[in-house]
Amino acid sequence: MRTIPESSLLRRGLAIFVGFCLFNALFVLFVGCGPTETTDSSQETPVSAPTPSPMIAEVDEDWYKAETCRECHPAEYDDWMGSHHQLAHRRMDPARDLEAFSQGEFVDQAGREYSVEATDEAFALIESGTGLPSAVDSVIGETPIRQYLVPFPGGRFQIQGMTWDPHKKQWFNVFGDEERDPGDWGHWSQQGMNWNSNCAWCHMTDFKKNYDIHTHEYSSSWKIEAISCIQCHSDMKSHVAAARAGDYTERANPPNIELAMDNCASCHARREELTANGFHAGESFNDHFRLVLPDLPNAYFVDGKANEENYAYASLKLSKMGHKGVSCLDCHNPHSHQTILPIEDNSLCMRCHSTGLNEATIIDPVAHSHHPLDSAGNQCVSCHMPKRLYMQRDARRDHGFTIPDPQLTIDHGVPNACTDCHADRPVEWARDTVERWYPNSERIGALRDRAGVLAQYYSGEAESADDVHRLLESEENVYWRSTYLRILSAMAPGTPESLAAALKSTRSESPVERESAYRIMANRNDRLADLQRALYDPSRLVRNQAADTLSTMFNPSQTAFQEWQEYAEANADRPAGALRRAELAIQQQDFALAKQLAEQAAGFDRNNAHLLYDIAIMFARMGDVDGALAKIESAKLLDLSLGLLWFGEGLLYAEKGDTRRSIEAMETAVSKDPDQERWWYNLGVAYMQVGETEKAKTALGRAIELNPGQTQYQQVLDSLP
């Protein structure tokens, strides 16, 4: 049997890759919604700790443990035991894992060969022919799938793509038959599948990533493996002390449900972190995270259903139910994560839809669904919370509560619940049936209208912002309003209408809407004063957007810029974050750090030619034109079709004063992508410099054809004899 390094087998823990974070315990039942007390570093578990619970309990020093909470809250503890939270991460256990690791040799969907080995103390998952590490340290998740953690150098832990299905008793690859190269961001051994950065915070209690931008290593720590009480309940140390001293008094006011929702959202949302794992229960989501919304193409379908792994929070907030105030706690037990009432007989949904609670419409399920009482088609969730398969075998219900509309399947390829069930019928049959049951539905018409606008934007075919403005003006939900503002910031930030919309939305009570409005300001040259005022916004989310836009004016004594630097360094283990921090290093004339971070960014995604182009331009800005040209050559080895590389090379040779080689490169660039107006303009100017007037006229004429509104092109052409 292959020898497995024992030192790596008892050191870490983890959770399902990039957030299979089934419902986080939601609100602060114990002592209200204040921020969590700062934890002494001596009470954190370093990654090299030999046991999952490292602290020796002293008097009141066991305050953080679930067993301590059980003393007063046995029912909640029992609900939590066996839940996805409690099993979010655990060490390898022969009783649970020996079956999976006794399968010998097998082949995945793409024909890759694997083998597994196990003893009572060591487990290995070996990918044949790769030489990659194979010792398995921990398992994340319990059902429907289990994934495994493999230690790598530098304090890294990677999630193996090979995954165990405990129901079917099978190994399978979460990437299916995809061919992922070891240099790709998404290969299991690379940064896209790194546990420290992508998974751990939502599967550990009080996790700190602790990435060092100088050493390019992790020294991650945590209090408890998996999701335990103190991850969701604030100020627990003083609460336990008061309870044991007999000084505890129950809260006088009800809990703040919005802050409880923020706690759920910290894991159950697709988001970008603004702080270095700084969120604690009772704090505002928007002071720590930036939420992904449907302005990101492919994240959502055009009807609002989740397409990619967006989890639940944004979908709920975008829904009519979320807008009316329905929260996670209206449906879920926060400790077991199970629903508080059955869904099979519609009891959960009818809690509101038979009473009018939360302004719900009163519904007779049989009359509304047009399906028999005991049929699947009469279940509310079948139509309004359809399942979508993630990670090959993980079927999750959508939380957007959308309306199934087969016409959107015909028009835009959107899945719909009707044909999911009636797979033997054509989609036109389903469309005709829906329109017969719900004739002239205003809500369906409005959803089709929005879907058409989003579809144009996602495909890059939208030529006018008028439709987006129309949707924005009639929209009440701040999350959809924010989506439209973000779209306008990308497609039409310079119009008077967009400016008027942005100025109105900067006065919104919602930090998400204000931040989206300032994205429009960020793409204008005439709103500097607005962005400078936003540096003092009460929400860190808005301050971060302003500081990011104004980063060239970095002031180390200003709070917003200090926060922005923390944001840049917290995300420096991702390509965009590393380059963002490198930009600051360039401003500070620390070229050595800037180059180091740029090289680290390239290493995160070694097969990304666009990334190498960005790094080449960064090298040129530091005065290293030869180093920039070397990056361009490396990028060409990855993608010869990318005209941008030759255009960049042309600019670099122009920087060196070699106009002839600059012209050769730009000629190649426009031959590969002839619709780039700016490239033709730069080529025309280069021809002018060497006296090739006729070629200059041709190139400038082509630039004018592509963008007749750009007066600069015509002025240069008119200057030629």
Question: What contacts 24+ positions apart, CB below 8 Å, involve 492-496?
Answer: 492/465, 492/468, 493/519, 493/520, 493/522, 493/523, 493/524, 494/523, 494/524, 495/465
d(CA 460, CA 298): 12
Predicted pLDDT at 253:
86
Predicted pLDDT at 248:
85
CB 687 within 8 A of CB 703: no
Three-state secondary structure call for residue 579:
helix
Mean pLDDT score, 680-707 = 96
Predicted pLDDT at 35:
32
Q: 650: part of which helix (H) or strand (E)?
A: helix 643-655
DSSP string, 462-515: ---SHHHHHHHHH---HHHHHHHHHHHHHH-TTSHHHHHHHHHHTT-S-HHHHH
- Reply yes or no on whether the pLDDT at 8 is more than 70: no
User: Across the strands, what pairs with 150?
Assistant: 158
Three-state secondary structure call for residue 46:
strand
Mean pLDDT score, 403-419 = 96
DSSP letter at 332 equals B
d(CA 644, CA 626): 18
Residue 332: C-alpha distances to residues 261, 326, 343 (Å): 12, 11, 11
- Reply yes or no on whether the pLDDT at 51 is more than 90: no
Predicted pLDDT at 254:
87
pLDDT digits (tens, 9 = 90+) for 99-119: 999 999 999 999 999 999 998
CB 682 within 8 A of CB 663: no
Tokens of 9: 């087998």
Distance from chain centroid for Cα 227: 20
Mean pLDDT score, 407-417 = 97
- Reply yes or no on whether the pLDDT at 48 is more than 50: no
DSSP string, 518-562: HHHHHT-SS-HHHHHHHTT-SSHHHHHHHHHHTGGG--TTSHHHH
Q: Which of 240-249, 399-408, 465-474 has the lowest mean pLDDT?
A: 240-249
Quickly count: other Cβ atoms within 10 Å of residue 181's Cβ.
10
Q: Is the peptide bond before 144 cis (omega within 30 degrees of 0)?
A: yes
Q: Which of 27-31, 333-337, 436-440, 637-641 has the lowest mean pLDDT?
A: 27-31
DSSP letter at 255 equals -
Higher-confidence position of 247 and 475: 475
Q: Which of 233-237, 280-284, 460-464, 698-702 has the lowest mean pLDDT?
A: 460-464
Predicted pLDDT at 341:
97
CB 492 within 8 A of CB 521: no
Residue 39: C-alpha distances to residues 14, 28, 208, 583 (Å): 21, 18, 11, 33
- Reply yes or no on whether the pLDDT at 138 is more than 90: yes
Predicted pLDDT at 200:
97
Per 3-state DSSP, the chain is made up of helix, strand and coil in percentages (nearest 5) of 45, 10, 45
Predicted pLDDT at 60:
66
175 HSE (CA, 13 A, CB side): 18
Tokens of 12: 């870490």
Predicted pLDDT at 342:
96
Q: Where are the alpha helices (DSSP H) in 690-721?
A: 693-706, 711-718
To the nearest whole number, what is the mean pLDDT of the chain?
91
- Reply yes or no on whether the pLDDT at 40 is more than 70: no
d(CA 610, CA 515): 28
End-to-end alpha-carbon separation of the chain, Å?
81
314: burial class by Cβ within 10 Å (0-12, 13-18, 19+)? buried
CB 228 within 8 A of CB 205: yes
d(CA 493, CA 507): 18
pLDDT digits (tens, 9 = 90+) for 55-75: 333 446 899 999 999 999 999
Of 331, 325, 339, 336, the residue nearest 256 (C-alpha): 325
Q: At what angle do helices 466-474 and 496-505 cross, to 10 degrees?
A: 30
| pTM of the model as a whole | 0.89
pLDDT digits (tens, 9 = 90+) for 243-294: 999 988 888 888 899 999 999 999 999 999 999 999 999 999 999 999 999 9
State the residue for tokens 């449907």: 294
CB 404 within 8 A of CB 417: yes
Tokens of 104: 């010998």
222 HSE (CA, 13 A, CB side): 30
Q: How many residues does the chain have?
A: 721
CB 508 within 8 A of CB 514: yes
| Percent of the chain clearing pLDDT 70 (strictly above) | 92
CB 259 within 8 A of CB 27: yes
d(CA 267, CA 199): 10
Strand 221-222 relative to strand 387-390, pairing: unpaired
CB 490 within 8 A of CB 516: no
d(CA 306, CA 312): 9
Q: Which of 24-28, 435-439, 550-554 has the lowest mean pLDDT?
A: 24-28
Mean pLDDT score, 91-97 = 94
Predicted pLDDT at 2:
34
Give the CA dihedral 681, 683, 686, 692, nearest 10 degrees. -100
Q: Which residues contact 237 (CB under 8 A, 6 or more apart)?
A: 37, 60, 63, 64
Q: Give the residue extent of every domain in the chain.
A: 1-245, 292-459, 463-550
Residue 641: C-alpha distances to residues 602, 609, 628, 637, 646 (Å): 20, 10, 19, 10, 10
Residue 634: C-alpha distances to residues 194, 578, 592 (Å): 25, 19, 21
Q: Which of 31-45, 105-119, 526-540 has the lowest mean pLDDT?
A: 31-45
Predicted pLDDT at 709:
87
- Reply yes or no on whether the pLDDT at 149 is more than 80: yes
CB 233 within 8 A of CB 30: yes
Q: Which residues contact 376 (CB under 8 A, 6 or more apart)?
A: 382, 421
Mean pLDDT score, 135-153 = 96
Residue 708: C-alpha distances to residues 291, 698, 703 (Å): 38, 14, 8
pLDDT digits (tens, 9 = 90+) for 352-383: 999 999 899 999 999 999 999 999 999 999 99
Quickly count: other Cβ atoms within 10 Å of residue 618's Cβ.
23
Quickly count: other Cβ atoms within 10 Å of residue 720's Cβ.
13
Dihedral sign from CA coordinates of 482, 484, 490, 493 = negative
d(CA 138, CA 15): 9
Predicted pLDDT at 257:
92
CB 44 within 8 A of CB 160: no
Predicted pLDDT at 464:
83
Tokens of 383: 């139509």
Most confident of 9-18, 253-262, 403-412: 403-412
- Reply yes or no on whether the pLDDT at 519 is more than 90: yes
Predicted pLDDT at 20:
31
Predicted pLDDT at 120:
81
Tokens of 464: 């006018």
